[in-house]
Amino acid sequence: MAIAILVNLAIRIDFSILKHGLGETSITESLQFLMLMVSTSTFYLLIREREDLSHAATLIFGFLAVLTIRETDAWFDLLFHGAWVLPAMVVTVATCTYAFRGGKRSINEIATILDVRHMNTLIGGVVLLIVFSRLYGMGSFWHTVMQEYYVREVKNVSEESMELLCYCLIALGAVKTRLALKHN
């Protein structure tokens, strides 16, 4: 319930109170970044707390870090368009290499982490984000829905609120997973 209220409040504050839409400094975008930082930091802490899960936790940390880098692409674009790809590739190669070096141990660690019931929330959030949200937010879909009345801001409100909802679910799943593993 708190997540649903948070997402609604963020969108309403951006449009009804601040009246500046969903730019990179909006409440909605800032909360998306915050939720990604919570998720990423949670797995970073898990790496440090649970050596026996470090390879798998690093792999998940890397995935979440790449999502964070991608979400901040507008800031990287100040360097040059598409600059976010470079740090994302570095993180991907580094975390995948580390996980690969763990061999079978990495697979066993992933199984241990996936066995935590709260990972269902995190995975559900990722699936909603990557599959549903991306397809739902496609401009061509919204052009079809609104036809000659297409308003990009309407599409953006819908898409960004869905993304914030997904990032909140991912953060919730991450925090609860870490807490469950910390007490094991």
pTM: 0.92
* 66 phi and psi angles, rounded to 5 deg: -65, -40
Cβ neighbours of 48 (radius 10 Å)? 10
Dihedral, CA atoms, 22, 85, 66, 169, nearest 10 degrees?
Answer: 30
Per-position pLDDT tens, the chain of length 184: 999 999 999 988 888 887 776 777 789 999 999 999 999 999 999 999 999 999 999 999 999 999 999 999 888 988 999 999 999 999 999 999 999 999 999 999 999 999 999 999 999 999 999 988 888 888 888 889 898 988 888 888 888 899 999 999 999 999 999 999 987 7
**Does residue 181 contact residue 39 with C-beta atoms inside 8 Å?**
no
Burial of 33 (0-12, 13-18, 19+ CB in 10 A): middle
At 132 the pLDDT is 86
Helix crossing, 152-182 with 2-12: angle to 10°? 150
pLDDT of residue 133: 83
Supply 56's token pair. 């798998």
Task: State the CB neighbour count (10 A cutoff) for residue 1.
Answer: 5
